Amino acid sequence: MEEFPTNQQNPTDCFNNEKIIHIVYISTDFNNGNIDISVAQFELAKILNDTTKFNYVLSAVESDILNSVSDLVLKPSENGKYDALKKRLIEIHSKSEDSKIRILLQGLELGDQRPSQLLTRMRSLAGDNVGEPLLKSLWLGRLPNGTQTILAALNENLDQLATIADKINDLTFSQGINSVAATSKNKTAQLEQQIAQLIQQVSELTSFVKLSRSPARNSNHFHNRSNSRNRFKRYQEPTNGYCFYHTNFGNKAKKCATPCSFRSEN
């Protein structure tokens, strides 16, 4: 395999510093998948030697990319090795037009826009390089699932689909507002009912407290206690050596407590 050019080599087989710097710059495009740009830069730098171009590609491309073309790297052909390597790299790693457009539009979302506004924005960014089928696919992918399902069953053109999508979007938005309003109304009714129940409970508790503290109730309570004391005061203390029972009940006493000097008349 041919060695890299050095300052000691024949000037016709090596490159000046400006061209070497240019080759270093090329590596970025190789590793970013822009291989077609790198090929054009080789031609602008007038790098014509097959082996030299092949070796510079090997030094410029990252190892994970070279692994995908390891057969060409380890066993290069005698002639046309650079062209074979270039063709394989382009086939494997060069970005398709579809992928480039998808990258360009990947940051776009529906958000607060209407579907037709999103379509207009996507058309503006994509320019004339995007066909309607691809643009339709990219646009539909950014719409709500329900809208996608409806539009997928229609055979209208893209502008007509955008008009239909706007109507679906408006209807969905209106239903959402009504749903929120109904939910809010139900919650308000429940809250009012709970407040009414709470007020009733407080009122009942207040009435009970007032009743328990009323003068009439206290008077009745005092009267009952007085009657109890009066009933107790009717009984006399034991006298004349009689016990309590005979002092108060005489011959009718059914009990007797010692000491007691009472003698029955019978």
3-state percent breakdown (helix, strand, coil) of the chain, nearest 5: 70, 0, 30
- Per the CB < 8 A criterion, the answer to whether 74 and 103 are in contact is no
- Give 13's pLDDT tier (boundaries 50, 70, 90): very low
Q: DSSP 3-state assignment of 243?
A: coil
- Give 17's pLDDT tier (boundaries 50, 70, 90): very low
b vs e for 176-186, b when ≥16 Cβ sit within 10 Å of the residue's Cβ?
A: eeeeeeeeeee
Model pLDDT, residue 28? 46
Q: Which two tokens stand for residue 262?
A: 């009472």
Q: Which two tokens stand for residue 176?
A: 């959402």
Radius of gyration of the chain (CA): 53
Helix axes 145-152, 158-212, angle to 10 degrees: 140
Is 185 a residue whose pLDDT tops 50? yes
Residue of 77, 75, 81 lying closest to 57 (CA atoms): 81
Model pLDDT, residue 69? 86
Q: Which two tokens stand for residue 82?
A: 């650079």
- Per the CB < 8 A criterion, the answer to whether 143 and 135 are in contact is no
pTM: 0.35
Model pLDDT, residue 236? 74
Other Cβ atoms closer than 10 A to 214: 10
Model pLDDT, residue 263? 78
Is 42 a residue whose pLDDT tops 50? yes
- End-to-end Cα separation, the chain, in angstroms: 154
Is 169 a residue whose pLDDT tops 70? yes
Q: Give the pLDDT mean for 61-69.
A: 81
Least confident of 60-74, 109-123, 129-143, 224-238: 224-238
- Per the CB < 8 A criterion, the answer to whether 60 and 30 are in contact is yes
